[in-house]
Structure 1
Amino acid sequence: MHEIAQHWIEGTLLGSPVAKALGFRLLTAEPESVTIALPYSEDATTVPGVLHGGVIATLIDTVAAAASASGFSDADADATGGATTDLTVHYLLPGTGDLTATADVVSRTRTSTLSDIKVTDDDGRLIATGVASSRVFRRR
């Protein structure tokens, strides 16, 4: 993976206070696909034993942004940041343990990406899915 992509994923996204507080950990990263782990914590629950939906949405949002950044190369040295412009989450099962989220970029332009996200638990059950549009900001 290009060093610019690596900087955005590891330094900016996973280095953010919220990612650190939730314990996000990069498992795999290659151009157009990223997987991030979320360890279970009682501090991240709504009711005992069930992860808060907002925590799962944050995982989906972060892995989608990382997938967007994963395709960066020398041509993206002018990138100054990014933002999620649209996020859809479908909760399928309660998150009651460690989770893993994988985002795959399905469409990329110079200023935006569209990613498909799947969140699974340690037993391979599909906990949630998501679709995210990400915008890339550039120097003018």
Structure 2
Amino acid sequence: MTSQVMAGPPVVAHHGRMHPLARTWIDDVLAGSPVARSLGIEVLDARPEEVRLGLAFRDDLTTVPGVLHGGVIATVMDVAGAAASASGLTDRDDATGGATTQLDISYVSAGTGDLVATATVLDRTRSTTHSHVVVRGADGRLVATAQVTSRIFRRSRA
């Protein structure tokens, strides 16, 4: 990841046939949320069932000098899992929102620079998705992995 990617508004590549509703949820609701904006989480790529997010290293996101706080990495993984869940939605899903119901993280190495999180949906039902998230440093080094379970909320049928 380069500083060009992280400077200014993101240039988001949307490949495949992702529904406009999914794009709106990913770009406006998830990446546009106050927490994602305050951390600087950006959408690098989004396609049905897979999303890549970026996070530029900042000193104010560290635990000790040079090392990103684990909670920051967890938040990136949570947003990535939610975005992957949203990436497969269409009007037929009648979805109104969602929430993470489980986030299981394994930290492998310290986050000492820019990060890229890739989230892939492993299983999708009408009300739940299970995603795998991999976070790597800009040098390709594995930083963390996670399993994310997301609940999809739907309009109640009268």
Could you tell me the TM-score, scaled by structure 2's length? 0.87
Match of 1:68 in 2: 85
Match for residue 33 of structure 2? Answer: 16
Matches within 5 A, 1:4-43: 4-43=21-60
Q: Which residue of 2 aligns with 1:56?
A: 73
Question: Aligned match of 1:92 in 108, 120, 124?
Answer: 108
1:136 aligned partner? 152
When the two structures are superposed, what TM-score results if normalisation uses the length of structure 1? 0.98
> Counterpart in 1 of 2:98?
82
Letter in 1 for 2:57: Y
Structure 1 counterpart SS, 2:36: helix
Q: Match for residue 132 of structure 2?
A: 116
Q: Counterpart in 1 of 2:61?
A: 44
Deviations 1:44-90 (A, max 9, x none): 000111000000000000000000000011212x2111110110000
Aligned partner of residue 5 in structure 1, secondary structure? helix
Number of residue equivalences: 139
CA RMSD of aligned residues (A): 0.6
In structure 2, distance between residues paired with 1:68 and 1:85: 12
Instruction: Read off the aligned partner of 1:113 and give its amino acid letter.
Output: T
d(CA) in 1 for partners of 2:38, 2:76: 12
